[in-house]
Chains A and B, each alone.
Chain A
Amino acid sequence: MIEFLDALADPDIPFLRYALVAGVLASIAFGIIGAYVVARRISYIAGAISHCVLGGIGAGLYLQTVVGLEWCRPMYGAVAASLLAALVIGMVSLYAREREDTVIGALWAIGMAVGLLFLAKTPGYVDPMSYLFGNILLISRHDLWLVAALDALVVGLAVCFHNKFVAVCFDEEFTELRGVRVKCYYLLLLCLTALTVVLLVRVVGIVMVIALLTLPAAVAGQFSRRLWQMMALGVLFCMAFIASGLCYSYTHDLPTGPTIIIIAGAVYLAVAVGSLFFRPKVS
């Protein structure tokens, strides 16, 4: 622990600080959007979106190095791809209900395939593992600004339209009858989910980021009777998972992403099993 705090203060290893700041900032969005995702049961859609992000990262790298668009960072590609995936998957789930899971599964794989092809055609050694499973060494100061900006956008929209999102998630039909444009809000929610996923791609990676969206919210759900309580608790749990995961992985020389996920998973399992015996659920 002391070792970790010393390392945080060490000017020679800024990436650890960046990872912690990115994690704490992103936790706010993860707690809030995660609660919607869990309550609305769209975690498989969020999973598909996050895997499509690899397509955007690959395209971003390709455009930057091969086409020579200097400004085109992989993270911008990730943002664009995640939004595109959210809109396509959202349209599919709105208009093609009966084969929804098939199409989403296909997009999930296609997004990854596109990304791997772009990476293969990008000269120089690019390790797809860093993007798939996260690598905190890749975080730059510039990424922190991107995380902060996206965070502000996601949290601002989610808080402003909270009641409408709750109503859309709870009962689409009734909400539509109240004159709310349900489909627009559903797509907006998926876009916010997409942006949230991008926030932590660097830290925990595309494959595992989905667990950070659902596990803190699922743990929080055991102690909450209202959605905003689930969000507030979810934010705290997410911060705790990320901070403790960073600390443990640094002190024990383990990869960060998997450590964070294992901690989150262990806590979820403990709470789920504990609730069978103690029923902490509010009556």
Chain B
Amino acid sequence: MSNEPVVLLEDVSFAYQGVPVLEGVSFAVREHEPVCMVGPNGGGKTTLVKLILGLLRPDRGQVHVFGLPPQRARLRIGYMPQHIQCDLQFPVTVMDIVLMGRLGQGGLAGLFGWHGPVDRRAALDALGELGMDAFANRPFRALSGGQRQRVLIARALCCQPDLLVLDEPTASVDTLIEARLFEILHELNRRMTILLVSHDLGFVSGLVQNVICVNRRVFVHPTSRLTGDVIRNIYGTDMHVVHHQEQTRD
């Protein structure tokens, strides 16, 4: 296990058209130490994820992923977005979608984006891990919300990533699937570093050691110290967040 953090943010600030969304954010995510981002809506969780993915560039400060600028580390990241912008009538099968995780490889096949038997094997394996392999040839539009979510997680896994970023993986799954997802993530944690965004503190507290509280400023709490007060503060107003200052870095 190397000592280099998987994700490292140093004094990062970001504003949308002059409105500050994140200010002075610094934290590190270490290898195989799963973390979860929590915080109120509009607190900047998704912005933070996009900064880590390199989809946005910080106004100030530095983001490093595997010691590189995020754009150059992308192929080592598997990402499951909370929403996809596409139209749900889009005619694709589950397999087509999971295979998208295999894009971005080198060589002639990579240039044209062609998929071979190895890619199909990897896609089926990823679907299998989420119990969705029987659905490989179903149209995406015929799936339920929870099944779609699992397909998108499978697509992220199909990238065979070293860092798995899941934005609200429990948003539309029922309790049974949630329990299964919990086990899957536990298992995956041995192979890769997991970064979750979740509203569901109950779900994450058994999984991660550290919670990153995002509400314009960012504070890292060990889950063992998540008391009622802390949770109230996470979802409270900016004023309450000031109380966290002594815990800025772990």
Contact = CB atoms under 8 A, between A and B. Distances in A.
A225 B140 CA distance: 9
B92 A174 contact: no
Contacts of B114: 163
Nearest to B78: A177
Contacts of A174: 79, 81, 84, 100, 155
A178 B112 contact: no
6 contacts: A163-B112, A166-B100, A171-B85, A179-B75, A180-B113, A225-B93
B100 A170 contact: yes
Contacts of B159: 178
Contacts of B90: 39, 169-170, 227
A180 B104 contact: yes
Contact of B86 (A169, A177, A224, A283): A169
A177 B112 CA distance: 16
A160 interface: yes
Interface in A154-203: 160-164, 166-167, 169-180
Interface string B17-54: 00000000000000000000000000000000000010
Contact of A283 (B92, B100, B103, B142): B142
B107 interface: no
Nearest to A224: B91
Question: Which of under 10, 10 to 19, 20 to 34, or 35 or more describes the interface residues of B?
Answer: 20 to 34
A172 B74 contact: no
A39 B112 CA distance: 20
Contacts of B92: 166, 170, 226-227
A230 B155 CA distance: 23
10 tightest A-B CB contacts, nearest first: A178-B104, A179-B104, A163-B113, A164-B113, A178-B103, A225-B139, A167-B100, A170-B86, A171-B84, A224-B91
Given A160-B112, A177-B77, 12 more contacts: A163-B112, A163-B113, A164-B112, A169-B86, A169-B90, A171-B81, A171-B86, A177-B53, A178-B100, A178-B104, A179-B74, A180-B103
Contact of A178 (B91, B97, B101): B101
B250 interface: no
A43 interface: no
Nearest to B159: A178
A179 B103 contact: yes
A55 interface: no
A121 interface: no
B87 to A, nearest CB: 6
B103 A163 contact: yes
Interface of B: 53, 55, 74-75, 77, 79, 81, 84-87, 89-93, 96-97, 99-101, 103-104, 112-115, 139, 142, 155, 159
The CB with the most chain A CB atoms within 10 A, among B91, B100, B114, B142, is that of B91
The CB with the most chain A CB atoms within 10 A, among B87, B93, B159, is that of B87
The CB with the most chain B CB atoms within 10 A, among A162, A164, A172, is that of A164
Given A178-B100, A178-B101, A226-B92, A173 B112 contact: no
B91 A227 contact: yes
A2 interface: no
Nearest to B99: A163
Interface in A197-251: 221, 224-227, 229-230
Given A163-B112, A179-B75, A226 B103 contact: no
Contacts of A167: 100, 103, 113
A155 to B, nearest CB: 15
A230 B159 CA distance: 27
B55 A176 contact: yes
Contacts of A224: 91
Given A164-B112, A180-B113, A282-B139, A175 B91 contact: no
Contact of A177 (B79, B89, B139): B79
A41 interface: yes
Given A177-B79, A178-B159, A171 B100 contact: yes
Contacts of B55: 173, 176-177
B91 A226 contact: yes
Contacts of B103: 163-164, 167, 175, 178-180
Contacts of A177: 53, 55, 74, 77, 79
Contacts of B74: 177-179
B105 to A, nearest CB: 9
A146 to B, nearest CB: 27
A159 B221 CA distance: 51
